[in-house]
Amino acid sequence: MEEAARLEGMDQYSPFGKWISATRATMDAFAQVAISCATEMQEFRSEARDIIEMAKQEQTTLRDQFIESRQQVEKLGKVAARNVEKQELFRDRELQATLGRIVSGVTSELRKEVFDQLRTEIPTHERQFYKEARWRAYVRMTLAGAVLMGLGFASGYTYDGYAASVGRYCAEHQAFDTKGASWCQINPPPILPKS
């Protein structure tokens, strides 16, 4: 435009010539803004890809940890069941041996009375033992579930933390354009050279 105006004989210091020079400067500034925006967009996309990749890796790690924790809880449950079975067998053997010694020590005429008395007391003690064993198993399972829930909460909190901070920033720094549309500028605008 400047070259065409010069060929038409317009002076660059005339009002129209100054307007053409200002228009060129404005076009140059718009070009620099466009280049700056494109560069910022590339950097933002690169950072977004990195964040997404980190989130995927974190999610994979948490899933693996959850699977491992679940397997450990299952193993603990099996071990606890085996221990209860062993304790039951040991208790039965001890009970039979103890009863045998007591009954053989008692005279034959008192044997029936002692045996009947033992039959009434032993089930009460057995019920109390099994009740305590079940209670301990329930407490262990509850604690394992609480640990798993805590891990799930912590992983969700870290995964969504960045998005929440960006949302808070945008809520505080919201701007509106001439048409009334709202937007949020994440990075500050570049400083343009003065013409």
Could you tell me the CA-to-CA distances from 131 to 74, 134, 140 in Å, in that order? 21, 5, 14
* Residue given tokens 């570049």 in the structure block: 190
Distance of alpha carbon 92 from alpha carbon 61, whole angstroms? 46
Mind giving me the DSSP string for the chain?
Answer: -HHHHHHTT--TTSHHHHHHHHHHHHHHHHHHHHHHHHHHHHHHHHHHHHHHHHHHHHHHHHHHHHHHHHHHHHHHHHHHHHHHHHHHHHHHHHHHHHHHHHHHHS-HHHHHHHHHHHHHHHHHHHHHHHHHHHHHHHHHHHHHHHHHHHHHHHHHHHHHHHHHHHHHHHHHSEEE-TTS-EEE-SSPPPPPPP-
Find residue 183's DSSP bridge partners. Answer: 175
Residue 190 contacts residue 36 (beta carbons within 8 Å): yes
Model confidence pLDDT, tens digit, residues 75-117: 988 988 888 888 888 888 888 888 777 767 666 666 677 667 7
Q: Phi and psi for 184 in degrees, rounded to 5?
A: -135, 125
Q: Where are the domains of the chain?
A: 1-171
Q: Tens of pLDDT along the chain (195 residues)?
A: 777 777 777 777 777 777 888 888 888 888 888 888 888 888 888 888 888 888 888 888 988 988 998 899 899 889 888 888 888 888 888 888 887 777 676 666 666 776 677 677 777 767 787 888 888 888 999 999 999 988 888 777 666 776 777 778 888 878 777 887 887 777 655 555 665
